[in-house]
Structure 1
């Protein structure tokens, strides 16, 4: 096991704006409100592009289209599975105000006949996180987790699912051993997943990488004894403040699996013990 500081010292120490994540989420403006991107295969799991990575792509397009820089709340409906390759993002400005602006965006790809297929549709409100007051009144507490050198990453065991796991090669992910029963054939049944999270190249977190963090851990369904793909139907993220440099702690819980669907509630905490992002998603479970 590597301590966080040692791992980061061996990384390339990429910076915000100059990292693989930034390059792979960068969109190119074709015309007003229309953006092109080549979705990277580096962010795939099984055979599909990760939903958090896709949300960051759409988030960047909206940041360019709207007068405010930071996502405060962003809700996405995943309509069809995205694949690596060319895509187009179309944005619309819904409303602009002094402190918040709202926009919507859709990501499209093309089928074998060249017809557009809508993959994701997003509605979001943006503001300036740097302008928010620093008062905090909360009952929330950071998750109790072992130090990073006592946690385990994907490299410490077999792949949890068949197919591509390219995204894990780009993440510094260390899972709390108490949520790893599924990897040992003894899932706890509690529907919990906790991990230290960062980008493998050492890039610090920002509001856009928080959109990735909430959807980057193994599904809580694994700890319920269910394996396989758990595709996201809808994901809403609230970004609360800019994260401090250093590793993040991500805690995800599921309380109810019914009718082949479950919810996942995530909290993301920074190195200053601040709750920097929250999310809820509805996901479909492939029951055998």
Structure 2
């Protein structure tokens, strides 16, 4: 059994898991107590990437392989700060890969248990992957961080910059995709920027799950400022990221019927594509 590393950063503390006895059972099931922290919310609702990383940490403690390779989450209802439990199980194990599922539950005000999130994931060992790379993908061309729109420029009061999660992060957005925050013209539905933790924590595979859902919605670049909750999110982790800030590029090509997709690429400081994601989100006015 491999457990994702726990450090002293805020992200590590706030995604911590506590196994319930007897731990992983003989049939490959486990329960972990977790606490959903206020600091990773957007105006009261927990961020989808933060929830995914929390559930993925529990799966890392349940499966025989250490690293998420592909993780898909369906968000069933809004998760609020407070106690929760993650129930996970092994679905299939091979030599180099293992697959499991996990669900996050909270107790509602009437005492009933409500499932908030359901995850299906395949894990492996990123350090065992070959080094060959054949790709046509290129990292996004971003201005230096000092020329980007920082947290202070993302709006206060009821704006995105006031969201609780933003204070945990060190985001710097490409001005070309931040017109919604600076009063400039809107764009074609893109969001690009630098991603780092405010406390300087280096990225790892679990934090890539957070990063995939950390930038402002691409609808802002379309001139539509509204709540955009995630319906489904899939993240493919390709490499273990090098130390240093990440670069993220997100694009939406189709907003129709009140739903949109967001395709993201995440690049590390060594110019390697370390994660890709797609999510389906709903536009709520």
**Normalized against structure 1, the TM-score is what?**
0.92
- Equivalent pair of 2:70/2:121 in contact (CA under 8 Å): yes
1:46–1:229 Cα contact (<8 Å) kept: no
1:79-131 CA distances to partner (integer Å, 9 max, x unpaired)? 00000000000001000110000000000001111100000000000000000
Inter-partner Cα distance in structure 2 for 1:36 and 1:248: 30
Matches for 1:15-94 after TM superposition, within 5 Å: 17-31=7-21, 32=24, 33-94=30-91
Question: Could you list the runs of 5+ residues in structure 1 that have no partner in the other structure?
Answer: 1-14
Tell me the equivalent position of 2:143.
146
Cα deviation digits, residues 190-246 of structure 1 (max 9, x gap):
000001001010110000000000100000000111112100000000000000011
1:47 shift after superposition: 1.8
- State the shift of 1:77 in Å: 0.2
SS in 1 for 2:213: coil
Give the Cα separation in 2 of the matches to 1:266 and 1:121. Answer: 21
Task: Please give the alpha-carbon distance, in whole angstroms, between the structure 1 residues aligned to 2:185 and 2:115.
Answer: 36
Contact 1:142–1:269, Cα closer than 8 Å, also in 2:
yes
Change beyond 3 A, Cα 1:152–1:268: same
SS at match of 2:199: coil
Does structure 2 retain, via aligned residues, the 8 Å contact 1:16–1:204? no
Residue in 1 that maps onto 2:167: 169
| Counterpart in the other structure of 2:224 | 226
1:155 maps to 152
Query: 1:162: how far off?
Result: 5.0
Output the CA distance in 2 between the equivalents of 1:38 and 1:119. 14
Structure 1 residue 160: Cα displacement: 8.1
Using structure 2 for the length normalisation, give the TM-score.
Answer: 0.93
The more displaced of 181-190 and 119-128 is: 181-190
Shift, 1:57, TM fit: 0.2
Report the alpha carbon displacement of residue 159 of structure 1 after superposing the two structures with TM: 3.0
CA deviation map 1:135-189 (0-9, x unaligned):
0000000001101111111212423845861111110100000001111344423
SS of residue matched to 1:172:
coil
Q: Which stretch of the first structure deviates more once superposed, 242-251 or 185-194? A: 185-194
RMSD: 1.5
Kept in 2, the 8 Å contact 1:46–1:162? The answer is: no
Structure-2 residue corresponding to 1:136: 133
Note the residue ranges of structure 2 that are not aligned, 5 or more in a row: 25-29
Pick closer, same or farther for the CA change 1:16–1:34 going to 2, 3 Å.
closer
Partner of 1:209: 207
What secondary structure sits across from 2:250 in the alignment?
strand
Relative to structure 2, which stretch is displaced further, 161-170 or 254-263? 161-170
Change (3 A) 1:70 1:185: same
